[in-house]
Amino acid sequence: MSKYNKDLIYSKITNHHIGSKLIILDEVDSTNKYALSLLGNKPCVSGTVVVADSQYAGKGRLDRSWYSPKGVNLYLSVILMPGIKTEEVNILTFISSVATVNTLLEYGMSPEIKWPNDVLVNAKKISGVLTDINMEGNRLGHVIVGIGINLNVAIDSLSSGQVDNIATSVYIEQGEKVNRNEFLIKFLNNLDDCYDCYIKHGKAFIYKLWESRWNGRGKAVCVNTQDEQFAGRCVGLDNNGFMLVHNEKDETVRIVSGDVVYI
Ligand code: BTN
């Protein structure tokens, strides 16, 4: 599969912000780690995108790993400095899920979102987002939004990789390989549009887009957090994107971090 072509990507992105600087790497431990290392002491441009052809220590949520074989999928991190409060950082994850959904729609797929940030196709995971933050004193400094999207990985390779969930790729679903340069250009343009919408219209606008693709409302779930496991029903989101679950004790609980399994 073809390598990323920086000139082509620059020439086709219509962006104001996302992709203002593009760093393309052959192999890296994790694009999120690399992006964090860029913050160092020098000023770093908000909108910088780090893309890698492969990751040998790709990170997933909840201390999982992210299977990142060479030459097939998309692994990227975006550095943002949105000037928002720490509790509002989830919105960036939501923006990224919406951009992934919009890009997959352009490929004729029917993606759904599973809280907090998994994108699924035919009930199998095709993409995930991992957000890392850098604090400056007690203020939120930069935010690194890391996105992995399975594009051309084949089913036999997926099942031999360390994949926690049932996963899929565009290739597995569509039977045709995707041009990674084209996909990346579309994705960066969609991400920039969504970020721009958020800046202009606020987070309620993004939550509405996100909810229109969310597959969880009203579903019976088992919630797994670090401290507990319980059953309930998904009833919605609060205004910072945390999921609200009505439990068997008739209470509505806010889920800050964890996973849900539909039952
Ligand atoms: C998840 O567990 O669903 C989140 C997966 C996030 C993976 C991406 S790939 C690019 C970036 N670099 C990483 O190490 N992780 C994120």
- pLDDT score at 168: 95
Residues forming beta bridges with residue 120, ordered by sequence position: 112, 125
**What is the separation, in whole angstroms, between the first and last Cα of the chain?**
39
Mind listing the pLDDT tens digit for each residue in 225-255?
Answer: 888 999 999 999 988 889 999 999 999 999 9
Residue 261 pLDDT > 70: yes
The more confident residue out of 210 and 136 is 210
Q: Give the integer Cα–Cα distance in Å for 198 and 176.
A: 33
Q: Which residue has the tokens 């004790």?
A: 249
Residue 108 pLDDT > 80: yes
Q: How confident is the model at residue 164 (pLDDT cuts 50, 70, 90)?
A: low
- pLDDT score at 40: 74
Question: Does ligand 1 lie within 6 Å of residue 116's CB atom?
Answer: no
- pLDDT score at 121: 96
Q: How confident is the model at residue 165 (pLDDT cuts 50, 70, 90)?
A: low
Residue 1 pLDDT > 70: no
The residue whose C-alpha atom lies closest to atom 10 belonging to ligand 1 is 75
Mean pLDDT calculated for residue range 183-200: 95
What phi and psi values does residue 45 have, to the nearest 5 degrees?
-75, 125
The residue whose C-alpha atom lies closest to atom 15 belonging to ligand 1 is 59
- From ligand 1's centre to the CA of 144, what distance in Å? 11
Residue 157 pLDDT > 90: no
For the four alpha carbons of 4, 9, 15 and 17, in that order, the dihedral sign comes to positive
Residue 2 pLDDT > 80: no
Ligand 1 atom nearest to CA at 30:
14
Mean pLDDT calculated for residue range 57-74: 94
H or E, element range at 105: helix 90-106
Q: Which residue has the tokens 């979102």?
A: 113
SS3 110: coil
Q: What is the mean pLDDT of the chain?
A: 91
- pLDDT score at 162: 57
- pLDDT score at 89: 87
Residue 82 pLDDT > 80: no
- From ligand 1's centre to the CA of 209, what distance in Å? 22
Q: Give the integer Cα–Cα distance in Å for 216 and 235.
A: 8
- pLDDT score at 88: 82
Probe target for ligand 1 pocket from 28, 75, 115, 119, with the most ligand atoms within 8 Å of CB = 75
- pLDDT score at 41: 61
> In this prediction, what percent of the chain has a pLDDT beyond 90?
72
In sequence order, which residues have a C-beta less than 8 Å from that of residue 70 and are 6 or more positions away? 27, 53, 54
- From ligand 1's centre to the CA of 249, what distance in Å? 35
Q: Are 187 and 149 in contact (CB under 8 A)?
A: yes
Question: Does ligand 1 lie within 6 Å of residue 97's CB atom?
Answer: no
Ligand 1 atom nearest to CA at 58:
14
Mean pLDDT calculated for residue range 178-202: 95
Mean pLDDT calculated for residue range 157-174: 80
Question: Does ligand 1 lie within 6 Å of residue 29's CB atom?
Answer: no
- From ligand 1's centre to the CA of 61, what distance in Å? 7
Q: Identify residue 20 by its one-letter amino acid code.
A: S
Q: Are 203 and 217 in contact (CB under 8 A)?
A: no
The more confident residue out of 241 and 189 is 189
Mean pLDDT calculated for residue range 192-198: 94
H or E, element range at 144: strand 139-149
Mean pLDDT calculated for residue range 143-158: 93
Mind listing the pLDDT tens digit for each residue in 25-45?
Answer: 999 999 999 999 998 767 788
Mind listing the pLDDT tens digit for each residue in 113-125?
Answer: 999 899 999 999 9
Mind listing the pLDDT tens digit for each residue in 4-19?
Answer: 999 999 999 987 789 9
Ligand 1 atom nearest to CA at 52:
10
- From ligand 1's centre to the CA of 66, what distance in Å? 6
